[in-house]
Structure 1
């Protein structure tokens, strides 16, 4: 077998496509190597092609199999990531639609709630539930706090906010809960399209 001339990779075709000067047989050999997947090796290619390892090594070197296979792998990874990004976006949109319906139902129920008649424990449970929905809709406001004021991480930020709230007098906490309840009622009504104020 005569020495192969090294392939000059064309900019006009993908690196994993047949290159100028590459015979159909050489390209098919490359495809066998490529189709072995990310765990491919010249040894596996030689076994599959039933030719010697030395021949495969010479062909692979001249035809730049490793560079071309790396380009193929990067291309497939980018396709895969784009596909999953699209899937995640669709799932997020679906979740947002479901959440909007649920929040509409919650908003309709909130219209009949008289916060002044609720115990502090009931208000606290209601507020906790309302804040969970709010975080789902608008994100966690604790993440917006500066790191100087809060311990590291979401749990630390939540503890800091909770600690500050617990330090307030009971009447101030109750007023803040009532205010939050009213704001939540307006926001959920706005999300569901039943509030004329926003």
Structure 2
């Protein structure tokens, strides 16, 4: 059983780990060689570090135990580990940004709903409709949407080829935002109040475009 276990361990052992039959001194020398910066690796440097007057013994170990190939395999392994770590960090950062973007949209949506309720209350009580700007709410929603689309790999472009803003894009965005507001109001208001509120919003938007 012990012999089988030893054979299995040898079969699964990585090249840069201590190999079967490799002496303690040879393994220590290779470990020093392996852990050097790839551009700085030198058998002569290892020999000097170990206090040998000549690199003959280290050269023998290197040839017998395949130091160069083992060190290269270790370099590839550590590079893969580093790339995987960077990818995990990148994905985690992307997830955080997407969550922030969604929170921004929630904040903007809540502000729009609050505006709709204030307008409803004003109309029902016969008071003057409050002049509340939608600028901040729509700006938050726009920013949140753009960040989420960016993190999802979708286009966020709203510019023409030469970098000037296209009027049709601006109008399309206004219509989309108006639809969001209308739906928020329809969810809570009666038909007559809904008609009056939407008429007011449309007149405000038309005035702002003019």
Please, what TM-score do these two structures have when normalized by structure 1? 0.61
Q: 1:136 aligns with which of 139, 144, 147?
A: 147
Shift of 1:71: 0.8
Counterpart in the other structure of 2:191: none
Distance 1:23 1:72, change over 3 A: same
Aligned equivalents of 2:96, 2:66: Cα separation in 1: 45
RMSD over equivalenced CA pairs, Å: 3.7
Match status 1:18 vs 2:18: yes
Q: Could you tell me how far 1:130 is from its partner in structure 2?
A: 4.8
Is the alpha carbon distance of 1:96 and 1:164 closer, same or farther for their aligned partners in structure 2, counting shifts above 3 Å? closer
Q: Which has the higher helix share?
A: 2
The residue aligned with 2:166 is 165
Unaligned runs of 5+ in 1: 1-9, 144-153, 190-194
1: CA distance, partners of 2:181 / 2:49: 67
2:30–2:62 contact (8 Å) kept in structure 1: yes
Of 94, 97, 118, the match for 2:96: 94
Question: TM-score, normalization: structure 2?
Answer: 0.58
SS at match of 1:158: coil
CA distance in 1, matches of 2:137, 2:104: 16
Query: What are the Cα deviations for residues 5-37 of structure 1, in whole angstroms up to 9, with x where unaligned?
Result: xxxxx6531001122232122111111211223
* 8 A contact 2:101–2:143 mirrored in 1: no
CA contact (8 A) 1:130 1:184 kept: no
Tell me: higher relative CO, structure 1 or 2? Use CA pairs within 8 A at least 6 residues apart.
Answer: 1
Q: Which residue of 1 aligns with 2:57?
A: 55
